[in-house]
Amino acid sequence: MFKATSLFRKFVLIALVAALSVAALPATTVYAAGLNDESAPPEMTAERLEKIWRREQAIYGKMGRLLERTDTLTGRIQTLIDKANEKGYDTSAVQAALDAFVAAIQEARPVYESAQGIIDSHQGFSADGAVTDIEVAAETVMSMGDTLREIRDITAPSGKALREAIKAFREANFPEGRPGRQDQPKGTAPSFAPSN
């Protein structure tokens, strides 16, 4: 019979935190609505550009915090994979997904850093974010939006694959019918042992 170990619980918890952290990246895409829409170009007002610029900078900051955490989280996941291997679990799919995720994060870092140059130069905007040149500001928000989308496009597929590999690992190694968290009294750890 399968018996849940603290290793498994730690593995799932840390892996899900890492995967969910990256899952936030695709959800935070900036669409400078209307800037690329030829059919109905909206009036680009200074107020609208300033709002988009603030939102892009906030997303950039959130992405940075997530990227900072990935090294720690992926390191913990690797440690747990190694321990699971020692206990005889087949973690090859999770390892491959983690390796792909780490490679995607490394590929995304220079793109992320290039966005700092856009923020630092803030062309078309004053230092406090007010529009100084509406046409240049529109180009700046489009450029920043493209960069943020590129980061998402690099990291989202491998983040999703990592989540799916973790889910498959859990399903393959721990049978259905086990009590879930919703069945446990509050404040207790779930049992992953099969129900009789």
* pLDDT grade for 43, boundaries at 50, 70 and 90: confident
pLDDT at 24 over 70: no
Q: Report yes or no: 7 and 73 within 8 Å, Cβ to Cβ.
A: no
Q: Report yes or no: 116 and 143 within 8 Å, Cβ to Cβ.
A: no
Count of other CB atoms within 10 angstroms of residue 141: 25
Residue 190 confidence (pLDDT): 38
The whole-angstrom separation of Cα 132 and Cα 134 is 6
Nearest to 18 by CA among 124, 107, 108, 97: 97
* pLDDT grade for 131, boundaries at 50, 70 and 90: very high
* pLDDT grade for 23, boundaries at 50, 70 and 90: very low
Residue 84 confidence (pLDDT): 85
DSSP class per residue in 41-106: PPP--HHHHHHHHHHHHHHHHHHHHHHHHHHHHHHHHHHHHHHHHHTT---HHHHHHHHHHHHHHH
Write the CB contacts of 148 (distance below 8 Å, at least 6 apart in sequence).
Answer: 28, 29, 30, 56, 59, 60, 63, 115
Entry pTM = 0.68
Residue 44 confidence (pLDDT): 80
pLDDT at 17 over 80: no
Residue 11 confidence (pLDDT): 54
pLDDT at 38 over 60: no
What domains can you pick out in the chain, each with its CATH number? 6-31+45-174 (1.20.120)
pLDDT at 61 over 60: yes
User: pLDDT tens, 149-191?
Assistant: 999 999 999 999 999 998 888 888 876 645 444 444 444 433 3
The whole-angstrom separation of Cα 166 and Cα 180 is 16
